[in-house]
Structure 1
Amino acid sequence: MDRLLEQGTDLYRIAVVNSHPIQYFAPLYAYLNRNKELKVTVLYCSEFGLRGDIDPGFKKAFKWDVDLFSGYNAVFLGKRASRRVLRGYWSLIVPEIWSEIRSGCYDAVWLHGYGYAANLIAFLAAKSKGLPVFMRGETHLGLSRSGWKKRIHYFLFSRVFRFVDALLAIGTANRQYYRTLGVPDRKIFDVPYTVDNDRFIAAASLNPDERDAVRTRFGLPLDKLVVLYASKFMRRKHPDDLIRAAALLRDRGYDFSVFMVGSGEMDTELRTLVQNLGLTNVVFSGFINQAELPRVYAASDVFVLPSENEPWGLIVNEVMCAGIPVIVSDEVGCVPDLVKDGINGYHMKAGSPQSLSDALEQVLVDPERRADMGRQSLAVVRNWSYEQCRIGLLEALTMALPRLADRQKKTAQ
């Protein structure tokens, strides 16, 4: 008889393997855990992000200032979790995963990607115990790989995915990637990349005085449109393209402010570029933590993410919760699902300040269109939520654990 039926439990007990606490994921686990059919335990390999670590993208030490642990069970694996750092595949060899997954406490294992050796250990432990393995990753076909790397990747993972019981697709581009590698549709379930919409929408609901106060705090003018960039200052995200686009628009006679939120390797270079181009409308804030960001979004009028080679871009979800238009490059993974060209924003060509300036001009010139695009952003993101994740995960569990699903149906009758 199935071990679950012998124990008499009606819960799907899920072990989620994460490298470290991630601000985007923790609220999702709490949401799922509130479902009467789910019990979520997250196995963390490292305390990165809790102890003032230096983020390689931001180039500064930080601690997240939002709650990462309420509403679900979190387990840090081994005493070394407090010392482990994230430095590539072999930096997370976590032998404690083996015994934890084989402990009999779980019915399915959910791996976030395959970027660390810990994921492989967890995969092998689950298979040795006869537990179904789900995988949720960020890859899509538009991500840049050299020819030989792409061939090796496709050869290897087209075989690995045969042994994964369910692939949890974060969006359209990710689903197409799985299909291209030969995964049948019956094994792909939609568990979209989402943020805590309720928190971001509520925190971004500012009255005019509150909006002005945010602008005043950061030295932004109250009477000009604000174009926001909020991400790491790194080359593949092309923050310099917004500054160059601002110069092009200045030369066309447009008067607005650019708000550069973040930090990173290009910080000095970006400030020098502003000086060299003679721009006086650019404000740098430095790193802003999670709790403050929704207010920053709400104080802005349009958001820009000109990245190349971007797996998803969860910042786009966050900003859309503030009800503003978004201009996002065609190499960002969220574009097919969240950015409706000409509806709630525009697509742009990655690496092209000219393409960005043309898209921005269409938003800046027409206040009615800009307001409608903001409303459309909010409408789109409301339907891209944790509830869709819950539905997709339960569908995957029902497929992978049919006997428990049958028991749950009988209990409900």
Structure 2
Amino acid sequence: MKRAIVFAEIPAPYRVRVFEELAKEYELSVYFNQHINQERHVDYMVKDSSLNYCVLDTPEALARFNRSLKNLKQYDFVLDYHFAVPNGVRLMLASIYHKVPCFINNDGAFIQKNFFKNTIKKFLIKRAALCFGSGESSRRYFRTFGAREENIRYHQFTSLTEADILRKPLSIEAKQILKRQLKLEDKKTVITVGQFVYRKGFDVLLEAWKNVKGDYQLLMIGGGSMESSYLEFIRTNGLENVKLIEYLPKEELFKYYQAADLFVLPTRKDTWGLVINEAMACGLPIVSTDQCIGGVELIKNGINGFIVPVDNATALTEKISEIMQTDSLASMMSVNNLNKIQRYTMKNIAKTHIEHINEYFSQV
């Protein structure tokens, strides 16, 4: 069994569950850079796992990581999911020095104008043995920083299990039952999910919602620092059909997805946006912006949703209204999203990684 060091940012489910699958094939030493970041609710992190991992937030943990770098020749490869931070850079530099193959991962990124950081990225990325990416955005990122086309591999980035994905759209009756269970009004429902912060663009959604005509309700789920300003906007504009809900664990959140009729993510910037995968898994049409990489990768205009210009409330109003007012369009998009998302599981991410890693070693 090959041995590997794996490095990632935080013990989020979409990392830990993939690494658990990889651990069935390889002997892994897993390190996370920190327990949590500001982008995630503390309850989102994995608390139960068969994976033996270490978080680099104590002197003892860092000492253990340093010993691993010093003894890197004892490992067969490195899998670096967070190579843009100091510890990730150190791991890649150690792999180059010790001539241990390093496989890197990128699930979507915006290319920033920073000469110093970009110079480091170019040095590291063009020396990676394989570059795993989630689609065209990742390919463009890797190519910009010197990766060769033949070294780029693709996987279907997601936070889903097979059990999360519906096989067919829920009936109107099933949605009505869910609405009663959740104490929601029995009317067509638009849902959005994410932290209530400026970057998510929920202020633009509320501005758009003022002009959506119809007996609909809007559910905003996530909680956060901008909640009071949203409530003030709702009060000032007399929006009685908007409900703000705090962060929900996955099991509860999926009930709301399944009760809804349309998902909207008006983000100003998301390097993926896994809530889009989640909404697709529940058969929802999607409206998102051209600054959401997951949306751009997964959504085809008029087929399974719409992509609108960022910060454009008018465009949001138009596309929300078009889907909500056209049952045949919504039904088609629902079916298309379920068909598209079926293979987007964490188990398949691991399977793809294993196939390409084993293929690499069979050729060297």
Q: Give me the TM-score of the superposition, normalised by structure 2.
A: 0.88
Contact 1:45-1:94 at 8 Å conserved across structures: no
Q: State the alpha-carbon separation in 2 of the partners of residues 303 and 30 from structure 1.
A: 30
**1:360 corresponds to which of 296, 320, 324:** 320
Choose 281-290 or 129-138, whichever is displaced more: 129-138
Partner of 1:64: 44
Partner of 1:74: 52
**1:266 corresponds to which of 211, 222, 226:** 226
Residue deviations 1:173-205, cap 9 Å, x none?
A: 111121122311112111332222313226998
Choose 347-356 or 17-26, whichever is displaced more: 17-26
The amino acid that maps onto 1:272 is: E
**1:181 corresponds to which of 140, 145, 160:** 145
Partner of 1:107: 76
The amino acid that maps onto 1:165 is: A
Contact 2:169-2:283 at 8 Å conserved across structures: no
**2:303 corresponds to which of 335, 339, 343:** 343
The answer to whether residue 201 in structure 2 is matched with residue 238 in structure 1 is: yes
Residue deviations 1:290-340, cap 9 Å, x none?
A: 232221211111101111221111111111111111111111112343111
The answer to whether residue 29 in structure 2 is matched with residue 29 in structure 1 is: no
Q: What 5-or-longer segments of structure 2 have no aligned partner? A: none
Partner of 1:6: none
Could you tell me how far 1:170 is from its partner in structure 2?
A: 2.0
Q: State the alpha-carbon separation in 2 of the partners of residues 172 and 217 from structure 1.
A: 41
Note closer, same or farther for the CA distance 1:354–1:122 as it changes in structure 2 (3 Å cut).
Answer: same
Partner of 1:199: 163
Partner of 2:189: 226
Alignment of 1:235-314 (within 5 A): 235-249=198-212, 253-314=213-274
Q: State the alpha-carbon separation in 2 of the partners of residues 360 and 165 from structure 1.
A: 44
**1:391 corresponds to which of 352, 356, 362:** 352
**2:131 corresponds to which of 149, 153, 167:** 167
Q: State the alpha-carbon separation in 1 of the partners of residues 360 and 214 from structure 2.
A: 56
**2:94 corresponds to which of 110, 120, 125:** 125
Partner of 1:326: 286
Count the aligned residue pairs.
362
The amino acid that maps onto 1:118 is: N
Note closer, same or farther for the CA distance 1:32–1:203 as it changes in structure 2 (3 Å cut).
Answer: farther
Contact 1:229-1:261 at 8 Å conserved across structures: yes
Note closer, same or farther for the CA distance 1:157–1:62 as it changes in structure 2 (3 Å cut).
Answer: closer
Q: For residue 44 of structure 2, give the secondary structure of its aligned residue in structure 1.
A: coil
Could you tell me how far 1:135 is from its partner in structure 2?
A: 1.4
Q: What 5-or-longer segments of structure 1 have no aligned partner? A: 1-10, 50-54, 83-92, 404-413
Contact 2:276-2:295 at 8 Å conserved across structures: no
Residue deviations 1:211-231, cap 9 Å, x none?
A: 445434554212x11100101
Residue deviations 1:71-113, cap 9 Å, x none?
A: xx3221578289xxxxxxxxxx934212135266531111112
Please, what is the CA RMSD of the aligned residues? 2.9
Q: State the alpha-carbon separation in 2 of the partners of residues 291 and 66 from structure 1.
A: 14
Contact 2:132-2:155 at 8 Å conserved across structures: yes
Contact 1:204-1:295 at 8 Å conserved across structures: no
Partner of 1:19: 9
The amino acid that maps onto 1:155 is: T
Residue deviations 1:215-260, cap 9 Å, x none?
A: 34554212x11100101111111011111111111xxx32200000
Partner of 1:402: 363
Contact 2:165-2:342 at 8 Å conserved across structures: no
Contact 1:27-1:196 at 8 Å conserved across structures: no
Could you tell me how far 1:133 is from its partner in structure 2?
A: 1.1
Q: For residue 282 of structure 2, give the secondary structure of its aligned residue in structure 1.
A: coil
**2:334 corresponds to which of 369, 374, 381:** 374
**1:155 corresponds to which of 119, 125, 144:** 119
Q: For residue 261 of structure 1, give the secondary structure of its aligned residue in structure 2.
A: strand
Partner of 1:86: none
Q: Give me the TM-score of the superposition, normalised by structure 1.
A: 0.79
The answer to whether residue 43 in structure 2 is matched with residue 43 in structure 1 is: no
Note closer, same or farther for the CA distance 1:376–1:402 as it changes in structure 2 (3 Å cut).
Answer: same
Contact 1:236-1:308 at 8 Å conserved across structures: yes
The amino acid that maps onto 1:32 is: L
The amino acid that maps onto 1:109 is: V
Contact 2:2-2:27 at 8 Å conserved across structures: yes
Partner of 1:5: none
Q: For residue 76 of structure 1, give the secondary structure of its aligned residue in structure 2.
A: strand
